[in-house]
Amino acid sequence: MRKNIKNNIILIFLTIIPILSLLIGFFLNEDLSTGGAKWDFNLTWPIVINYSNLNFSTDITRHMPLHYALLSLVNVTFNDQNLVKIFYLFFSFLLPFFLYLNLSKIYNCKKSILIIFSSCFLFIPLFRASAIWSNAHLTATVFFLIGNFFYLKSKTNNIFIYKIINLLFLSLAIYCIQTYLLLFLFYLYNYFSSEKITDFIKLFLFSALLSLPGLFFIILNPRIIDLGNVMSRDIFYTISTNFSVMFFFLLFLLFNKENFLIIINTIKNLNKKEIVSIFLLVFFVFYNQELFALDPRLRGGGFFYKLSYLIFKNNLIFIFSFLLGLIFSYIIIKKEPKFIYIFITLNLMSLNFIVYQKYFEPLFFIMVSILFKNFLINNILLSFKNALIFYSLIFLYFMIAHINILNKISNNVVS
């Protein structure tokens, strides 16, 4: 009895603290994106005002317009920027709520562990910045979570309307951030593989219908599909940064005994060709010294990029993190081949002129958690201890982000 009471107190504490911290952060105008989320909000607020006045001629942003249209509806109701932000803040709590619902459909574990795992997402720096400063990336992620929940329900109950709702919410995510189209393809492929041909045709036609407004938006704002800057960027910068950031987030998932042992055993079982290929990759990267010539003044780059210049004034740590990200991704795919979709999709969604860590946060954790059952998440949810370790790591990341903001460390990396 006493143990249950103690566990309930711990559960309440671990749930309430991130909620209270986010509310406090809101009233302090916190922005753990080093100013990016606030800048985005101030830049795009005129779009919200224009939409509120039924003026749809603006093309300031490269994003799809749904997020700003929804904010404009709230603005029409309250006619106050602060009230719009408060409304969006409470909207953001749908993310941990629907994350919990998704997880409960996939993993057979204690509800208390699912609550702890879902609650700690409120500490993720870019989630907080997006929630406080009403960012389109978070809106798209919430719609993605809702859509995936109905996808999981359709797999359990095989009710056709759930599949329609799944595609509907995925299209809403796309109309906030167009790169979510890559996630849309995941569901269409699964429906093609599992549905009767007549049902798949219905779903495909419904998807085609949902895409029609997108053609109109592209005509109004061609910047939505402008890839000129993306394709002109050094491809090594993009790929290396993507895998460096992915390695950073993989560390959160591998920091428990079960997952660590699985990775070690998988490495031990690599054949000679795989080992030789890894050594050749490492040799090729370090042999080509020009790969170390990335501009240190470049914005973005992620945690290890900033850390590398902070400590060594060069790309050494960054290059190592890229290689480890690439190698660990291969090892995880070897253990569970389905991960190849997640890693490829994340890379394609982040083919940008400048790659920011926010493109993966919290989307990386969410995609790994809810698209399919896997050993990385299953072992975290296996015990209260593992869930608490993950929670603690996210909280540590939150504290490091605060220290960075207070001391402006990442802003002063280049001397």
Angle (CA) 167-226-315 rounded to 5° is 100
pLDDT of 132 reads 96
pTM: 0.91
Cα separation, 300 vs 277, whole angstroms: 30
Q: Quick check: 325 and 247 in contact, CB under 8 A?
A: yes
Lowest mean pLDDT among 156-160, 193-197, 291-295, 341-345: 291-295
> What number is the average pLDDT over the span 181-187?
89
Return the axis-axis angle of helices 136-157 and 125-132, rounded to nearest 10°.
110
Q: Quick check: 381 and 113 in contact, CB under 8 A?
A: yes
Q: Which residues contact 234 (CB under 8 A, 6 or more apart)?
A: 294
> What number is the average pLDDT over the span 189-205?
91
Asked whether residue 212 carries a pLDDT value surpassing 60, the answer given is: yes
Residue with more model confidence, 63 or 65: 65
- Residue 244's alpha-carbon distances to 10, 117, 331, in angstroms, are 35, 24, 15
State what percent of residues in the chain have pLDDT above 70: 89
Q: What is the pLDDT of residues 234-246, one digit of tens each?
A: 677 788 888 999 9
3-state SS, residue 214: helix
Q: What is the pLDDT of residues 270-319, one digit of tens each?
A: 999 999 999 998 888 877 766 666 655 556 778 888 888 888 777 888 88
Asked whether residue 228 carries a pLDDT value surpassing 50, the answer given is: no
Q: What backbone phi and psi angles, to 5 degrees, belong to 288?
A: -85, 90
The mean pLDDT of the chain is 87
Residue with more model confidence, 296 or 159: 159
Q: What is the pLDDT of residues 254-267, one digit of tens each?
A: 999 999 999 999 99
Closest listed residue to residue 286, CA positions, set 324, 316, 307: 316
Model confidence at 231, in pLDDT bands (50, 70, 90)? very low
Q: Quick check: 66 and 172 in contact, CB under 8 A?
A: yes
